[in-house]
Amino acid sequence: MRVQHNVGGIQGLGPVWTERRIFVEPWEERIFGVHVAMMGLGIWRWTDLRKKAESMNPIDYFTNRYYEKWLGGIEAFLVENGYLDGAEIEARTSAILNAADAVPQVPGSDAATGRIVDYLWRGDSPERELGCAPSFQVGDAVRATVYEPWNHTRLPGMLRGKAGVVDLVYEGAYHLPEAGPDGNEAGPGPVYSVRFDPAALWGALAEPGHAAFYADVWEHYLEPA
C-alpha cells in the first residue's frame, strides 16, 4: 500500500501550511523551468514525475518540500534514461558548490525554447477518440473497485470500494496512464464526475455541512453499485 495514493483523509497532520508563494527558494523556479522544458520536448510526461513521487519513501514524501521531490525525480529520470550521467551531475554540482561561476557558457539549442513555449500555449490534452459508449449514465449508482495499484494510479485511495452517484458524463475518452507490471497503460476510456457522500467516505468523522465530495473517475475503476 502506498500512502501517496491515500493522502485524502489522513488525520493528525497538524495545521495547514498557508504559504501562498509558488516558490520559496530561487532554485525551485529553475527546476520547474527544467521540468517544463522536458514536457515541451517530449522527454517526459506528468506520469513519469508522478511515478517518481509515488514510489518515494513515504516519510520522505511528507518531509521533502514539493520541488525537492521534483528535483529528485528529474535527476533520477534523466540518468535512468541516458540523458545525463550520474557522475557528471555529481562533478558539476561539486564544481558549482566550490565556485558559482563554474558553468561553461554555451548557446545550447536554438530551436528548443520555441518548442517549449509552443507546448505551453498549445497544451497536451489526454482526450482521445471514444471507442465505445460510456457504460454509465447520470444518476447511476457506481462503486470504485478495490485493488492495489502497481506504481501509479488516478483513483484516490480513499474512494476504493466506496459507492457514489454519476453526476456528469464527460464527453469523449481520456487516456489513463496507469500500467500494471507489464507496463501497458490502461489507455483511453470514459471519465465521470462522481458524487460521493462524505458520510459514506468518512463515517462519523464526516464534517457537518460537508455536502459532497466529487471526484473525476475513469470507467476503468468503476462497477455498478
Partner 1 sequence: MTANHEHYHHPETERHSAARTKAIESLLLEKGIIGSDTVDKVITFFETDMGPLNGAKVVARAWTEPQFREWLLRDSTAAVASMGFFGAEGEHIRVVANEPGVHHLIVCTLCSCYPWPLLGLPPYWFKDPVYRARAAIEPRAVLREFGLDIPAGTEIRVWDSSAQIRYMVLPERPAGTAGMSMAELVPLVTPGSMQGIELARPVAST
Task: Quote the CA–CA distance of 85 and 51 in Å, as a whole number.
Answer: 21
Nearer to partner 1, 50 or 140 (CB): 50
Nearer to partner 1, 95 or 225 (CB): 95
Dihedral of CA atoms 31, 29, 42, 184 in degrees, nearest 10, equals 70
**Least gap, CB of 184 to partner 1 (angstroms):** 19
Nearer to partner 1, 119 or 140 (CB): 119
Task: Quote the CA–CA distance of 142 and 194 in Å, as a whole number.
Answer: 8
Task: Quote the CA–CA distance of 223 and 134 in Å, as a whole number.
Answer: 12
The C-alpha cell 481520456 sits at 174
Nearest residue to 189 via CA among 200, 204, 178, 180: 178
**Least gap, CB of 51 to partner 1 (angstroms):** 11
The C-alpha cell 508522478 sits at 50
Per the CB < 8 A criterion, the answer to whether 152 and 176 are in contact is no
The full length of the chain comes to 225
Nearer to partner 1, 124 or 223 (CB): 124
